[in-house]
Amino acid sequence: MKTATNSDTVIVLDFETTGLSPDCGDRAIEIGAVKLVNGEAVERFQQLMYPGRRISRFIEDYTGISNSMLKKSAPCEEVMLAFAEFIEGFNLVAHNASFDFRFLDAELNRVRYKQRENFACSMLIARRLYPEAPNHKLGTLVRYKSLPNDGTFHRAMADAEMTAHLWLTMMQDIKDQHSFATIPFEVMQKLARTSKQAATGFLSRESVRVSKI
């Protein structure tokens, strides 16, 4: 069993899906993930997965993933078993994490694996750190913070890579502005739930608390 001890090791993930909600029968069609250790990308996971049916033309156009590509891919259940092993015990990050968490939970339930990892949402954190940004969509934040990208959006690996860059940038901005030496993962989770008006005060208090641990 892998054990996540702090925010220096996280897995940043992104799903592409057939639609907006697994509660409405939608399925995952691609997963991309980047494992970050001490601020470095050390391992990646990327797989298309066949959901057992055709996807709509809208999803084909939106993602660039075609039905013929998916027909050649492993079924969701096989991919998710491998992904469960990849993430086991690690803290998880996603942009608009509630969306990805629902699909992760639904797909893992299908293979009788209970999701036990902690999630943090980079979008909610970015709203607290960068209230002046035009909006907090991933593409907007990539441009706003001049993050590395190859111009590809709405593919799981590309979005996971950009979210990883955003996560590291936010961590560094917090360290620079609030004198953290290290930032526990739970501080990032709590920041996402803190009001925008209270975020600065919260981080100042947490930097003092963490320094005494």
Domain range enclosing 140 = 9-168
Domain contains 199: no
Amino acid in the structure at residue 177: Q
Look at residue 206 and tell me whether its pLDDT is greater than 90. Answer: yes
Look at residue 97 and tell me whether its pLDDT is greater than 80. Answer: yes
Tell me what the mean pLDDT of segment 45-53 comes to: 97
Domain contains 177: no
- pLDDT, tens digit, 9 for 90 and up, residues 34-45: 999 999 999 999
Domain contains 90: yes
28 vs 48: CA distance, rounded Å: 9
Q: What is the pTM of this model?
A: 0.94
Amino acid in the structure at residue 58: F
Domain contains 4: no
32 vs 161: CA distance, rounded Å: 8
Domain contains 154: yes
Residue 147 near residue 169, CB atoms below 8 Å: yes
Long-range CB contacts (within 8 A, 24+) of 80-83: 80/28, 80/31, 80/49, 80/107, 80/108, 80/110, 80/111, 80/113, 81/111, 81/113, 82/45, 82/47, 83/31, 83/33, 83/45, 83/47
Domain contains 98: yes
Total domains, the chain: 1
Domain contains 39: yes
